[in-house]
């Protein structure tokens, strides 16, 4: 079975670990969000790709969900001693090596997809990890800070400001001109199932869908497209998805997110058991819906979620 | 008193520490060798400039004479895990930060001289440190390895091969097209004394002299030019200077090095007490010469050497 997954960072990576356990023989291609990529200290940092790579490759800091295990921060401390920031972005020493290799390969002319493949040669994530695009896309967030309107990089909004101010708009700068990376459209065309893990619907999955051609390829694939709600009850399972959902005018509920994707894209949607009351509303929007436990508390629970998603796909197909 | 010093790495840096102690009120400008600069992992590394900066700024690893004190190697270990080398060059985590800041500033368009000034704003070396040139100069060494003639970067010759094979030629690639960095010719023109510390006469001082204009500015300065022999007895005090001296056809003796610089450049030369027998030979070449202890065993001994050099300068001037 060929499964394609559109993944952001922590939520996507953890779901993928469950999916690999649930479908060990599946051929899994991950289309990773690169909209939160950022240039720091002259280096190209791809947080979501790295989170997927480290999580599936066994190098992740399990507690925080991003960055490397057993990490130190010597380089960052020294950069601060030079007065060079930003200090709010937690780049560790082991992590720096990844960005140094990536930046060096990009400077040598390799596209991001080839660089990602080279990095994965070490990590052996057990999936084919593709960036959504080799072109630069950077998500910016329009905010009002200290009475002034300004646009900040998504990482600044998310990490420095911790989404503490309202997002007035979320713009994936460069997405309109971007092309899907080599292999992306082919993977979607060859897929048996397409999954949206419980990743952020705006700045993770939404950014991937903003690359021209990807949304169309999903809609035209003619295979079940199944999503898992990142909202449980009235709150995001993790992160601050409600802030960016508000910016695009979407309520922070499992049902609203499904309707935001829409029946033109989604065939099936899993909501958490606590949201069983919204199943009828989602189905009324033309999307088959089931309520199951959606908390990725451990690998078993996550694998069960993945099995439920694949089961819903078969139900849709039949 | 305005003193200009042409410095390589370890020997030059240690001598400068003695000079600062010997002449605490002097205005010291250091023209640093950049011929051993190297691009590693996409980063611009300037070993000699950094050795001077770290040594005078209190950040040096005292035992080895280069690199940072209290250093770790996490980034390098991770790079090796990606299969990215070279492994023979010892870049530590704290040191990496310096190269990251430098590379970022160079990429932003600042010349190396401005970058060096910015880095020194943190280290406060107590001297004005100028790179010999803002243009790229890289010393290459022609060798025969495994029966094949090839040219290697100086660092590869010095660090990877440890000068274990003969150097057939030493070429400061790019030097002919290089211009002295801003301030270099002005400092030489304004100097009261010019000193050559016991640095390598070929790959350190020699490379600086290879930048068109610098040798002429020294010869035309009309002030005492005093050198200290890096050769004591028949051997370099440290490093493997004999290997590169042979490549330029110069014997590895204190006298031969003085005559290699020549009386057109040098006014005075200090040799070690053990080489007192060569004083007459040096003086016969038109260079005033004194034999004094030249081992930089501690700060006091080094300060005494610096005082001897300044005394010889006054003797020449009178």
Residue B109 touches chain A, beta carbons under 8 Å: no
B123 chain-A contacts, CB cut-off 8 A: none
Token pair of B220 as six digits: 């035309």
pLDDT given for residue B253 in this prediction: 95
Contact across the interface for B79 and A72, Cβ inside 8 Å: no
Contact across the interface for A96 and B84, Cβ inside 8 Å: no
Contact across the interface for A94 and B78, Cβ inside 8 Å: yes
Residues paired with A150 in a beta bridge: A143
* Structural domain of B181: 2-134+176-317
> Is the confidence at residue B272, as pLDDT, over 80?
yes
Q: Is residue B35 part of a domain?
A: yes
Residue A100 touches chain B, beta carbons under 8 Å: yes
Nearest residue in chain B measured CA to CA from A92: B75
CB-based contact B260:B266 (threshold 8 Å): no
* b/e A154-181 (16+ beta carbons within 10 angstroms → b): bbbbbbebebeeebeebbbbbbeebebb
Q: Is residue B8 part of a domain?
A: yes
Nearest residue in chain B measured CA to CA from A100: B41
Residues paired with B171 in a beta bridge: B140
pLDDT given for residue A39 in this prediction: 94
Candidates B41, B104, B107; nearest CB to A104: B41
Domain count, chain A: 1
Residue B50 marked in a binding site: yes
Q: Is residue B227 part of a domain?
A: yes
A102: distance to nearest CA of chain B, Å?
A: 10
Nearest residue in chain A measured CA to CA from B117: A82
Query: Which pLDDT tens digit goes with each residue over B3-37?
Result: 999 999 999 999 999 999 999 999 999 999 999 99
Q: State the Cα–Cα distance between residues B60 and B79, nearest whole angstrom.
A: 24
CB-based contact B58:B70 (threshold 8 Å): no
Residue B42 touches chain A, beta carbons under 8 Å: yes
Q: Is residue A232 part of a domain?
A: yes
Q: State the Cα–Cα distance between residues B9 and B47, nearest whole angstrom.
A: 7
Q: A with B: how many residue pairs have Cβ under 8 Å apart?
A: 85
CATH number at residue B249: 3.40.50.10680
- Mean of pLDDT values over B57-62: 96
ipTM of the complex: 0.90
Contact across the interface for B78 and A97, Cβ inside 8 Å: yes
Report chain A's C-alpha Rg in angstroms: 19
Candidates B42, B83, B107; nearest CB to A100: B42
Nearest residue in chain B measured CA to CA from A106: B42
Task: Give the C-alpha distances (Å, rounded to integers) separating B300 from B18, B19, B21, B274.
Answer: 7, 10, 8, 19
Helix, strand, coil percentages, rounded to 5, for chain B? 40, 20, 35
The pLDDT profile of chain A, 318 residues, written as one tens digit per residue, is: 999 999 999 999 999 999 999 999 999 999 999 999 999 999 999 999 999 999 999 999 999 999 999 999 999 999 999 999 899 998 999 999 999 999 999 999 999 999 999 999 999 999 999 999 999 999 999 998 888 899 999 999 999 888 889 999 999 999 999 999 999 999 999 999 999 999 999 999 999 999 999 999 999 999 999 999 999 997 777 777 888 899 899 999 999 999 999 999 999 999 999 999 999 999 999 999 999 999 999 999 999 999 999 999 999 999
Nearest residue in chain B measured CA to CA from A39: B104
CB-based contact A282:A271 (threshold 8 Å): yes
Q: Is residue B155 part of a domain?
A: no
Query: Which pLDDT tens digit goes with each residue over B81-90?
Result: 999 989 999 8
Residue A97 touches chain B, beta carbons under 8 Å: yes
A42 chain-B contacts, CB cut-off 8 A: 100, 103-104, 107
Q: Is residue A153 part of a domain?
A: no
- The H or E element that residue A169 is part of is strand A169-173
pLDDT given for residue A147 in this prediction: 86
Q: Is residue A143 part of a domain?
A: no
Q: Is residue B197 part of a domain?
A: yes
- Mean of pLDDT values over B200-207: 95
């Amino acid at each position: 079975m060929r499964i394609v997954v559109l993944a952001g960072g922590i939520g996507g990576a953890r779901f993928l670990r469950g999916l690999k356990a649930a479908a060990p023989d599946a051929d899994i291609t991950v289309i990773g969000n690169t909209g939160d990529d950022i240039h720091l200290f002259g280096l190209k940092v791809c947080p979501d790709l790295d989170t997927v790579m480290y999580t599936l490759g066994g190098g992740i800091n399990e507690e925080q969900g991003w960055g490397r295990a057993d990490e130190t921060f010597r380089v960052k401390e020294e950069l601060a001693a030079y007065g060079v920031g930003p200090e709010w972005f937690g780049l560790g020493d082991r992590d720096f090596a990844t960005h140094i290799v990536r930046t060096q390969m990009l400077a040598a002319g390799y596209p991001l997809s080839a660089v990602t493949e080279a990095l994965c040669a070490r990590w052996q994530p057990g999936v084919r990890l593709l960036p959504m695009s080799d072109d630069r896309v950077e998500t910016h967030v329009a905010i009002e800070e200290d009475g002034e309107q300004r646009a900040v990089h998504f990482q600044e909004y998310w990490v420095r400001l911790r989404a503490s101010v309202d997002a007035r708009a979320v713009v994936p700068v460069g997405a309109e001109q971007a092309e899907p990376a080599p292999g992306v459209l082919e993977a979607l065309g060859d897929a048996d199932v397409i999954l949206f893990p419980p990743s952020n619907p705006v700045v993770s999955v939404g950014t991937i869908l903003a690359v021209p051609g990807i949304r169309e390829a999903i809609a035209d694939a003619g295979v079940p497209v199944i999503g898992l709600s990142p909202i449980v009850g009235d709150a995001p399972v993790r992160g601050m998805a409600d802030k960016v959902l508000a910016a695009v005018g979407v309520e922070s509920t499992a049902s609203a997110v499904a309707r935001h994707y829409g029946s033109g894209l989604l065939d099936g949607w899993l909501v958490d058991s606590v949201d069983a009351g919204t199943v009828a509303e989602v189905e009324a929007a033309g999307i088959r819906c089931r309520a199951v436990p959606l908390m990725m508390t451990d690998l078993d629970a996550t694998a069960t979620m993945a099995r439920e998603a694949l089961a819903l796909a078969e139900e849709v197909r039949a």
